[in-house]
Amino acid sequence: MSARHPTIGVTGSSGAGTSTVMRLFQRIFEEQGIKPALVEGDAFHAYDRVQLRAAMERTRIRGENFSLFGPGGNLLERLHSLLRDYSDAGNGVVRRYLHTEAEAAAVSQPVGTFTPWERLPTDTDILFYEGLHGGYVGDEIDVARHFDLLIGVVPVINLEWIQKIRRDTEERGHNPEDVARTILRRMPDYVNHIIPQFSRTDVNFQRVPLVDTSNPFEVQEIPAAEESLVVVHFNKTSRVKVNFDKLIASLPGASKSHEQTLVVPGQLMEKAMELIFRPAIEKLMQKRDKAAAKEKS
Ligand SMILES: Nc1ncnc2c1ncn2[C@@H]1O[C@H](COP(=O)(O)OP(=O)(O)OP(=O)(O)O)[C@@H](O)[C@H]1O
Ligand SMILES: O=C(CO)[C@H](O)[C@H](O)COP(=O)(O)O
């Protein structure tokens, strides 16, 4: 966390929609002339796709719990160092995980591998992280504390699974049975390491379908925006300050469901995010400019 080199994190389970939210932020950054350092959480997995299969087999034989949701499957100390270095000096080291054939072909590498570690460009205005562990806090590593703004993306679980199954089968070349097995294997880590993060965020966006999703393992479409509602919850310690009445007036069909909670029609989720985060980003940039000016003087 630093005024001079601000950081925003979006955290959520696999298939929750964090990459989708990142694209919205990219648009806001572009419109405001902000140059972000984009960090994908999957880059901090400890294993590539082939190594992961071997690690899974080893842990299965030993009867140990293991998944990419838990700290053992990730280089969280490296993520922690990146965030610390960025906050201190606006730099750090990152890489990318190549999920799809297209991403892999673009850099002439096999799918399911990592690009080499590289230093971030030196002239970025803000670090933006999206992934599984933005709100992670463990015995020795506290990722959450590095963010100036932390956002949770949490569709209700049936919807999250539908999204994961569709994305993994259509874009990442997995078969539905394997995706279901992955969901099962990750469950202890989901409960222990993913869910607690949503109590450390500033704001959570929880999409709730209005159509039947009672068997997410049956092949089906992802419910459309207009077939869902979004519960927007501001945690008690949220650093994002909004005027609920003004927000509701700008979002037709929105209402307040609880002291710190709004309900917004699904098709207005992006607009709600824009209204909530545009001013927050502007504030971070103003603080950054002030800190930079002070540094110069
Ligand atoms: N608000 C939304 N409405 C409809 N579909 C959505 C929404 N958000 C995400 N999806 C769909 O859900 C799938 C998963 O989304 P996305 O790739 O953003 O997840 P993710 O959290 O980044 O996953 P991972 O961390 O595994 O990469 C995609 O097919 C995406 O189009
Ligand atoms: O948890 C995940 C993303 O958050 C993915 O399952 C993980 O990155 C492995 O990806 P792939 O199945 O494309 O090898």
The DSSP result for the chain, as a single string, is: --SSS-EEEEE--TTSSHHHHHHHHHHHHHHTT--EEEEEGGGGBSS-HHHHHHHHHHHHHHT----TTSGGGB-HHHHHHHHHHHHHHS--EE--B--SHHHHHHTT--TT-BPPPEEPPTT-SEEEEEES-TT-B-SS-BSGGG-SEEEEE---HHHHHHHHHHHHHHTS---HHHHHHHHHHTHHHIIIIIGGGGGSSSEEEEEEESS--S-TTS--PPPPGGGEEEEEEE-TT-S----HHHHHHHSTT-EEEETTEEEEEGGGHHHHHHHHHHHHHHHHHHHHHHHHHHHH-
Mean pLDDT of the 143-171 span: 96
pLDDT of residue 38: 96
Residue-wise pLDDT tens digits, 169-223 = 999 899 999 999 999 999 999 999 999 999 999 999 999 999 999 999 998 899 9
CA-proximal residue: ligand 2, atom 11 (nearest): 99
Best mutation site among 19, 99, 165 for ligand 1 pocket (most ligand atoms within 8 Å of CB):
19
Q: What is the pLDDT of residue 20?
A: 86
124-134 pLDDT, tens digit per residue, is 999 999 999 99
pLDDT attached to residue 6: 97
Query: What CATH code would you report for 7-296?
Result: 3.40.50.300
The residue whose CA is least distant from atom 4 of ligand 2 is: 14
Q: Is the CB of 11 under 6 A from ligand 1?
A: no
Distance CA 144, CA 165 (A): 28
Q: In this predicted model, what pLDDT tens digit does every residue of 59-105 receive, in sequence order?
A: 999 999 999 999 999 999 999 999 999 999 999 999 999 999 999 99
Residue among 24, 154, 167 to mutate when testing ligand 1 (max atoms within 8 A of CB): 167
151: closest CA among 28, 251, 246?
28
Is ligand 1 within 6 A of the CB of residue 20?
yes
Whether 255 shows a pLDDT value over 90: the answer reads yes
C-alpha distance from residue 95 to each of 75, 138, 139, 189 (Å): 12, 23, 25, 24
Would you say the CB of residue 43 lies under 6 angstroms from ligand 2? no
Ligand 2 centroid vs 293 CA: distance in angstroms?
Answer: 41
CA of 17 to the centre of ligand 1 (A): 3
What is the rounded CA–CA span in Å between residue 267 and residue 20?
Answer: 14
- Amino acid in the structure at residue 33: G
Ligand 2: which of 74, 172, 184 to mutate, judged by most atoms within 8 Å of the beta carbon? 172
Q: Which atom of ligand 1 is nearest to the CA of 166?
A: 29
Confidence (pLDDT) at 214: 95
Q: What is the pLDDT of residue 158?
A: 96
Cα–Cα distance for residue pair 182/137, rounded to 1 Å: 23
- Domain ranges in the chain? 7-296
Angle made by CA atoms 66, 70, 75, in degrees to the nearest 5: 105
Identify the pLDDT of residue 19.
87
Nearest listed ligand to the Cα of residue 15: 1
In sequence order, the 6+-apart residues with CB closer than 8 A to the CB of 287 are 3, 6
Among 18, 44, 163, 264, the mutation site with the greatest number of ligand 1 atoms within 8 A of its Cβ is 163
> What ipTM was reported for this prediction?
0.92
Could you tell me if the CB of 16 is within 6 A of ligand 2?
no
